Structure 1
């Protein structure tokens, strides 16, 4: 049995960045659940399908796997490497939409649980500690204020040369939180046994140190 670390929290809290750093420092496998949902979102975005009934029926046609090549994660959708397509705002919104659908979640959770049984893993998402890995060895709930999260995203997009409005990004983040926290199946919430970390005033290094300290105390 592997050691599993679950990191949950709202959009833009820095979960993926932190989880990747933790995995690298501890030599664990990073399972990017968000990327898997984004790949599913991309699948339906490309088909221009938003109808829940159709998504329920067709989600099994999206074969999504994660591979590692030279230490880099590759997300494969039906044989195609989609790393370059899944990080758009559109794919993110569609991922949030499809993530509410039970059939989609069942399909992806199966793969995620299988990985955690055979390897030491760090997994981040919205419902890892509450639903995907309820028996994870260490659970973290990572959050930050909506404004802080919007500001981080704004800077990221500016660095990529994209034009964007901070206010609009913050509105989208608040709407995404609302959607994620109120979905019927496996909503975003802090697991009872999760350690709360608010990263609003912390650097990435400080958050990583905190989590590695918590991991060391579990040994």
Structure 2
């Protein structure tokens, strides 16, 4: 069940398009809840690896995903990502590793896993509103979202951003290897039979290549101000 009275801003797009940063910024400004759906899939991948479950075994992954002991805790600094605990253990760092992302992308293509996690994601829709970051927020999870946006950027730009982020974290990485991983993940996400990575038909597509976070956030603010969310307040 979904409470249609609670507004949702659905922001979809591939990794490195800027979704996470702009969604955190917008949620903080609005005082709304935030859903990082990618973190849920990544946590499922970690849980599967710890239990020795193959990322392609839908029959075993579905019940695991449905019963996931997952908690998001607000960070001390609002600009930071949420602290994520899986089975009571902090997995925030492991969540962002490239290998975790690869495994998450594999299991995200399994229909049973997506179905098992659907209601968990919809449960984030609570007053006063929700900013939802993902790959199928506007097409599947919240098809009635007040605002739907699809952020994109060239694969080269997204690889460059990820490489810069890793360097800032003190992690070495090959830009060429990152580009290859991003290209492969895009093909897998866009080509999967269930909830492929595509813009919703009524989504506004924004290419963030060469744009700052604030420029992208300004565009989302404009869309929100023209939406029914603000119209209902008049």
Common topology (TM > 0.5): yes
Which of 83, 86, 89 is equivalent to 2:92? 83
Q: Which residue of 2 aligns with 1:101?
A: 110
Is contact 1:40-1:64 (8 Å) kept?
A: no
Mapped pair 1:160 → 2:138: no
Residue 27 of structure 1, aligned match among 3, 27, 31: 31
Is 1:113 paired with 2:117? no
Aligned equivalents of 2:61, 2:170: Cα separation in 1: 34
Deviates more, 1:14-23 or 1:153-162: 153-162
- Whether the aligned pair in 2 keeps the contact of 1:36 and 1:65 (CA below 8 Å) is no
Please tell me whether residue 42 in structure 1 is matched to residue 51 in structure 2: no
Whole-angstrom distance in 1 between the partners of 2:171 and 2:93: 16
Structure-1 separation of matches of 2:158 and 2:93: 23
Deviations 1:161-197 (A, max 9, x none): 2221111100100000000011111111010100010
Runs (5+) with no aligned partner, structure 2: none
Where does the alignment leave 5 or more consecutive residues of structure 1 unmatched? none
Whole-angstrom CA distance in 1 between matches of 2:133 and 2:173: 27
**Correspondence for 2:217:** 208
Residue in structure 2 matching 1:54, options 35, 57, 60: 60
2:85, 2:128 → 1: CA distance?
20
Alignment of 1:6 with 2:10, yes or no, is yes
**CA–CA distance in structure 1, aligned partners of residues 222 and 112 of structure 2:** 37
By how many angstroms is 1:117 displaced?
A: 4.8
1:179 aligned onto 2:153: no
CA RMSD of aligned residues (A): 1.7
Report the count of equivalent residues.
219
Q: How does the TM-score come out when normalised to structure 2? A: 0.87
| Partners of 2:16 and 2:210 in 1: CA distance | 14
How far apart are 1:61 and its partner, in Å?
4.1
Structure 1 stretch 105-114 or stretch 89-98: which is displaced more?
105-114
The 2-side partners of 1:168 and 1:69 are apart by 31
1:64-83 alpha-carbon deviations (Å, 9 max, x no partner): 34343656623232333322
Structure 2 Cα separation of the partners of residues 152 and 17 of structure 1: 12
